[in-house]
Amino acid sequence: MVSKDTSLRTLSILLFVVFFLALSGCVVNVKPHWSIIPDQIVLTGQELILQLDNYVSDRDGNIIRFLLVEGPGEIKDRFYYCKLVDDSLEGLFFRTFRVRIRAVDNLGAVSDAVFQLTVIKSSKVTKLPDIHVTVGQDIVMDLKEYLKLEEDLTVEKVSDVGTLVDDVFSFKPNSPGTYQCVFLVRKQGLVLGYQLLNIFVYEHLLTLNISEYNSGPAVEGALIQLFNQLGEKVGETYTSTEGKACFDIMPHRVVITKPGYARTVIYFAGPVFPIVLDTTLRKYKFSNLHSNITVDYELSDVTGCPLKRDSQGIYEVDYTTSTTVKVKVNAHSDVFEISHMYLKLGSPPGAEFFASPRIYTPGPTMSAEIELSSFSGIVPLFIEAYDANDNKYTVVVPIKIIRSWNNLGNYYIVEKPEGFALKSFTIRQDVRYYAKSIGSEHRPLGAPQGMNLYVEVSWKKWEESAQFGTSAKPIAYKIYRSVDGLNFFPVATVPASMSTFRDGSPSLFPGKRVWYAVSSVYEFGESPRTVLGSVVPLPMIYISDVQPADNATGVSCKPVFSWKFIGLEGFKEKITYYYDLWLYDTIVDKRYYEAFVGDKNILTTTSETVTVRFDELVWKRPNGEVISELIAGRPYEWGLELIVAEWKDEKNSSISISLNCDYNSKFGAYQIPPERYYLFVTGGN
């Protein structure tokens, strides 16, 4: 027999279940919530991309799909894409479309968002080629060759550089520097876009910056001889302490020599002047013999048809029919065999760490294709051959890349990265970056001899920027350098897939501030430059006044370690020092101890003078063994295997690093050992 209490409990449970089910049936699925999608304006030929997840949310479900209910374009992978051509405007100058997009959540609720898309007929343009001249040289450019000035289309100069008469631009610079002229393209009073003309004015026709290797020390006192087409010497000088030499003549061949070094020869196959050229003069590997290197090359389009060459020696290629150029090279040396060759368009090749992307081939033959997508106008092609003794032969070939007409579009104005845009590295040992090893020569080093110095430049790619989808995708990025923060000269052009560039130019020096800027490159033009910041590479950091000193005796079994950081006295109150401490038992092989503070083995200080007591640290072996004091009467060695100075300059978005040693690659550099260890013998306690 069931009790009365049990029956009441059962009834209560049944009533609760019924109430819960009824309540559940009353819960309403909230539909997805859209934020406002701004009205969009694009030019014909430009693709609009909207990441729809940025505009919608759902409180009680997940958006499982989007549908295009009304308007042009398509939805793919949760993005809205739309790219319209002139015919879609039905003969109008512009046309406005209504776009409706529906979001559907996993519970079946739907919600629509509506925005207006205005499409304006673009004008046909091609990129204005950069102009490189010397002081006092006349510049004349007919803009009708680069802008299709159709009916009702006008061009207007809005900068104070030069004059514009009947669509012909004229300018005569009277001082070296860089100039940007801005031309607005209008139709019926509406600005369709703008074109930038870059003008680079040089003081000399040829400037050479010579270093031992990429990012290495400048070569002072190198003899530079210039020869004309007849083989007659037309100029001669020696490089300065900065490894620089300047000339106001256009040579056919340049020969660079210095006792103890291999030979570098530069052959100009056509006019590329004025030009600033970074090159190398390496120390010979085997002997002071200079090989006579010859380089034969063939250039053809994508179909294999040889490129035409004009009377000046300039090759021409139409990008419309050939997006690449095929290059065949054969090199020969009469003394040492050819070791390897490089090929690069736009700037000198070299170690991949700095010159990527470039083409490398071992041996005396090369067959390769170079991409033209990042370039237009007259661009130098560099072919370099090295023999086994590090003699070098460079051929500079001018190629004129002809671009077709393209729709004018919106530029991506390059954005700075989230962190620091610039990082300079001054590294004590001559890391060649041609292989993952350090230089074999070990010597005390001073700036700039015997060290590496380079600057790493970073920016946001278009895909990572806030302008993604609302501006056109670049085909490349162009990097600029300035020594005064005003005049920016081009350094390199890199593919649009890259967002980092390393500058190892011999024109960089410790203590000398340098600025960098980046622009986006398109078939229809180039964006304004974004100045990323500036950086001051640091001189090399050293230590002095070391205690216990080398060969010290009677040292306490709980010694006091002290030293002074030197070399950066001009940067006081800006520097943070990083270091570590190691002890080696010279009696027991492979017994060594590393100093810890808590769980940290990288120690920091802002003081130039450092004093550390033995018992303030925890000394550990790799197996976890800890010692509390040293053994009396035993020899030990101690040293700093990490010596780094860092200056974080937030104002200028840069970090400067001076790296003396990093034996355990804690800073991610190559394994760089300390200059020395210090031997001492303990006394009694």
| Domain of residue 653, CATH code | 2.60.40
Q: Tell whether the model's pLDDT for residue 612 goes beyond 80.
A: yes
Cβ proximity of 196 and 178 under 8 Å: no
Whole-number Å distance between alpha carbons of 514 and 506: 13
Q: In sequence order, which residues have a C-beta less than 8 Å from that of residue 600 and are 6 or more positions away?
A: none
Is omega for the bond preceding 271 within 30 degrees of 0, making it cis? no
Q: Is residue 410 included in any domain, yes or no?
A: no
Quote the distance between the C-alpha of residue 284 and its chain's center. Answer: 30
CATH number at residue 161: 2.60.40.10
Please give the order of strands across the beta sheet that includes 514-521: 489-495, 476-482, 514-521, 530-535
Same domain, 580 and 669: yes
Encoding tokens for residue 290? 């200079």
Q: Is residue 20 included in any domain, yes or no?
A: no
Q: Tell whether the model's pLDDT for residue 444 goes beyond 70.
A: no
Whole-number Å distance between alpha carbons of 348 and 392: 13
Domain boundary among 91, 120, 149: 120
Same domain, 193 and 213: no
Same domain, 454 and 393: no
Same domain, 198 and 300: no
Nearest alpha-carbon partner for 492 in 510, 504, 484: 504
Q: Is residue 3 included in any domain, yes or no?
A: no
Predicted confidence at residue 271, as pLDDT, reads 94
Q: Tell whether the model's pLDDT for residue 269 goes beyond 50.
A: yes
Contacts 24+ apart (CB under 8 A), 19-26: none
Predicted confidence at residue 581, as pLDDT, reads 96
Quote the distance between the C-alpha of residue 547 and its chain's center. Answer: 42
| pLDDT averaged over every residue in the chain | 90
Averaged pLDDT for residues 433-462: 59
What amino acid occupies position 82?
Answer: C
Give the pLDDT band of residue 436 (cuts 50, 70, 90).
very low
Same domain, 113 and 140: no
Same domain, 113 and 195: no
Same domain, 570 and 612: yes
- Strand-pair category, 177-187 with 190-202: antiparallel
Same domain, 379 and 426: no
Domain boundary among 500, 535, 570: 535
Q: Is residue 528 included in any domain, yes or no?
A: yes
Averaged pLDDT for residues 215-223: 92
Same domain, 367 and 464: no
Q: Is residue 407 included in any domain, yes or no?
A: no
Q: Is residue 480 included in any domain, yes or no?
A: yes
Same domain, 113 and 159: no
Tell me which DSSP letter residue 672 carries.
Answer: B
Predicted confidence at residue 6, as pLDDT, reads 53
Is omega for the bond preceding 348 within 30 degrees of 0, making it cis? no
Q: Is residue 28 included in any domain, yes or no?
A: no
Cβ proximity of 617 and 596 under 8 Å: yes
Cβ proximity of 217 and 449 under 8 Å: yes
Query: How do residues 168-195 score in pLDDT, each as one tens digit?
Result: 999 999 999 999 999 999 887 788 889 9
Encoding tokens for residue 235? 């100029």
Q: Is residue 564 included in any domain, yes or no?
A: yes
Averaged pLDDT for residues 106-120: 93
Tell me which DSSP letter residue 450 carries.
Answer: T
Domain boundary among 347, 373, 402: 402
> How many structural domains is the chain composed of?
5
Whole-number Å distance between alpha carbons of 131 and 170: 12
Give the pLDDT band of residue 448 (cuts 50, 70, 90).
very low
Whole-number Å distance between alpha carbons of 681 and 433: 40
Q: Tell whether the model's pLDDT for residue 23 goes beyond 50.
A: no
Q: Tell whether the model's pLDDT for residue 625 goes beyond 80.
A: yes
Q: In sequence order, which residues have a C-beta less than 8 Å from that of residue 230 and are 6 or more positions away?
A: none
Which domain range does residue 324 map to?
206-402
| DSSP three-state, residue 300 | strand
Whole-number Å distance between alpha carbons of 34 and 53: 10
Same domain, 242 and 384: yes
DSSP secondary structure, 176-203, as one string: SEEEEEEEEEEETTEEEEEEEEEEEEES
Query: How do residues 307-358 score in pLDDT, each as one tens digit?
Result: 999 999 999 999 999 999 999 999 999 999 999 999 999 999 877 777 678 8
Same domain, 598 and 450: no
> For the chain, first and last CA: distance in Å?
91
